[in-house]
Chain A
């Protein structure tokens, strides 16, 4: 590691950024749609390193290339490379050329996700956003999730309203639902999870350094599968990636606001 960037230890937020970036490894020439700060940083890091063909938006209606960090001095100017207003964005979803990372107010062991409301839909105890595009996203292209604060209130036995479709529901809904359905990964502040099990139930892929298996079990409202031969550690960003995180994509330290540095 270089002296300037490597002098401080890798923080939990930085493990989360690299874990989110890894979601887009090998994605090819598709739109990366990150929702949330850490996924947005991860998508930019992926584009700057191992997935240079990714496309990103300005958060509104433009596809922008060479997106600099907010307020970064000397950053290259962005170039508008395309137009993606909402109607085209929704149409793009059905083409499959997109990998979204959404948030989740609730998520279950099969990857069913809820952002609509908590409690009985007919009269919710807590109204949230609404289904938005989660039903379409999950049936048309890879949909991963980011949970900045892993807890048993989010990782639940059963979600109150299925917005993003999980593996069990996609299979039950028939071949048209399952045809393009894929939930590759769930990244939280504790670790990385996937559904690479025979029954497509959530499995621990890696835990961030300092997180014990018991911690994540206590913070999860259902039984997690554990890989044979033990749980690996989430990989650390290498020196170049760490420098990009700290100096290029997030010099203002926005990542620490979503995942506090002292961890938990």
Chain B
């Protein structure tokens, strides 16, 4: 039985600049962030990233690692627009293949099925065909003669996904409500790397959820990484939800090069242990500040009302005086 356990840096050592990487999850949900952070620590560049984008895309774009992005959207979910992606697009810093969500799903499926494309209705009449002149239509060979868009296979050199549990051989399990496209990413890739909250033995994996939760099969997996908090700050239910306070801090920091440099220094300059320690300190500070703020929130409106009342009295007096 092959033991495929490795470190996040070990995964990155198997990748090369210029590769096409698929990144699982969706928006700011169950993104393989520990693997993305390892990519940020590496010298890899010139990547083509295929992703239903969230902060994975934002961080890699901010670090200048993406040459081309293949995506139907980039969002942080609770914050609609991803600040680094926006900035990168607005300064023309990355090439974009913007696809409809269905074209993306069926393109990924086609790659796993070793087909050149899948026919879809999506895209016809839209500017997706204008901004992607490489896209083609296909004519049904049957009596209907329909002309459809041919969603091209999204073949990947490597896939990076994060699930809740896995065994050392690469069977991986999701315990949340949505598998996203993680198994499809793995099947579309020449090599797939799975990070997970916890590596457990096969028997525990089987006990942790019904058979349908065993999403990714070891036959498609080249490496397994135990990465607790490995999707942070995106959600990884039921292990943890999205860290909204941290995501807000990320968005605030992205607004200015100086604050972003400080954010990178504080959170992204070390390994995963350093990251978790920095996040724990951040959370403690944030919660302490909230506790401190809480009674003031009670007082503030009253104080404000009192001031306003006083101001109103003065205005009235002045007005009377002028009259």
Is B44 an interface position by the 8 A CB rule?
Answer: no
- Nearest chain B residue, comparing its CB with the CB of A180: B121
Mask for B85-123, Cβ within 8 A of A = 1, else 0? 110011010000011111101000000000000001111
CB–CB A176/B148 < 8 A: yes
CB–CB A127/B120 < 8 A: no
Q: Which residues of A contact B125 (CB under 8 A)?
A: 135, 138-139, 162, 165, 169-170, 172-173, 177, 181
Most buried by A among B73, B80, B103, B125: B125
Q: Smallest CB–CB gap between B6 and chain A, Å?
A: 28
Is A76 an interface position by the 8 A CB rule?
Answer: no
A131-B100, A133-B102, A136-B100 are known contacts. Are A176 and B74 too (CB-CB below 8 A)?
no
Interface residues in A136-171 (C-beta closer than 8 Å to B): 136, 138-140, 161-165, 169-170
Q: Smallest CB–CB gap between A160 and chain B, Å?
A: 9
CB–CB B72/A130 < 8 A: yes
Is A227 an interface position by the 8 A CB rule?
Answer: no
- For chain A, the bracket of interface size reads 35 or more
Q: Give the CA-CA distance A139 to B121 in the complex, in Å.
A: 7
CB–CB A173/B124 < 8 A: yes
- Nearest chain A residue, comparing its CB with the CB of B131: A121
CB–CB A90/B105 < 8 A: yes
Q: Smallest CB–CB gap between A47 and chain B, Å?
A: 21
CB–CB A128/B131 < 8 A: no
Number of A-B pairs, beta carbon distance below 8 Å: 143
Is A6 an interface position by the 8 A CB rule?
Answer: no
Most buried by A among B53, B75, B90, B148: B90
Q: Which residues of B contact A73 (CB under 8 A)?
A: none
Most buried by B among A83, A127, A161: A127
Q: Smallest CB–CB gap between A15 and chain B, Å?
A: 26
Is B284 an interface position by the 8 A CB rule?
Answer: no
CB–CB B101/A136 < 8 A: yes
A131-B128, A165-B126, A176-B146 are known contacts. Are A125 and B121 too (CB-CB below 8 A)?
no
Cβ 8 A contact of B81, one of A93, A127, A162: A127
CB–CB B73/A127 < 8 A: no
A127-B89, A165-B125, A170-B125 are known contacts. Are A133 and B72 too (CB-CB below 8 A)?
yes
CB–CB A129/B81 < 8 A: yes
Cβ 8 A contact of B90, one of A60, A126, A172: A126
Is A240 an interface position by the 8 A CB rule?
Answer: no
CB–CB A87/B73 < 8 A: no
Mask for A47-65, Cβ within 8 A of B = 1, else 0? 0000000000000111000
CB–CB A121/B127 < 8 A: yes
Mask for A111-127, Cβ within 8 A of B = 1, else 0? 00000110001111111
CB–CB B85/A176 < 8 A: no
CB–CB A85/B90 < 8 A: no
A86-B181, A94-B102 are known contacts. Are A140 and B121 too (CB-CB below 8 A)?
yes
Q: Smallest CB–CB gap between A56 and chain B, Å?
A: 15
Cβ 8 A contact of B120, one of A134, A136, A161, A175: A136
Q: Which residues of A contact B120 (CB under 8 A)?
A: 94, 136
Q: Smallest CB–CB gap between B80 and chain A, Å?
A: 6
CB–CB B90/A131 < 8 A: no
Is B147 an interface position by the 8 A CB rule?
Answer: yes
Q: Which residues of B contact A133 (CB under 8 A)?
A: 72, 100-102, 122
CB–CB A60/B178 < 8 A: yes
- Nearest chain B residue, comparing its CB with the CB of A133: B101
Q: Which residues of B contact A126 (CB under 8 A)?
A: 86, 90
Q: Which residues of A contact B147 (CB under 8 A)?
A: 174-176
CB–CB A85/B178 < 8 A: yes
Q: Give residues in B with beta carbon < 8 Å to A.
A: 26, 52-53, 71-75, 80-81, 85-86, 89-90, 92, 98-103, 105, 120-128, 130-131, 146-148, 177-181, 184
* Sampled A-B contacts (9; CB under 8 Å): A86-B101, A86-B180, A123-B90, A124-B90, A128-B81, A129-B81, A140-B121, A162-B125, A176-B146
Q: Give residues in A with beta carbon < 8 Å to B.
A: 60-62, 83, 85-87, 90-91, 93-94, 116-117, 121-136, 138-140, 161-165, 169-170, 172-177, 179-181
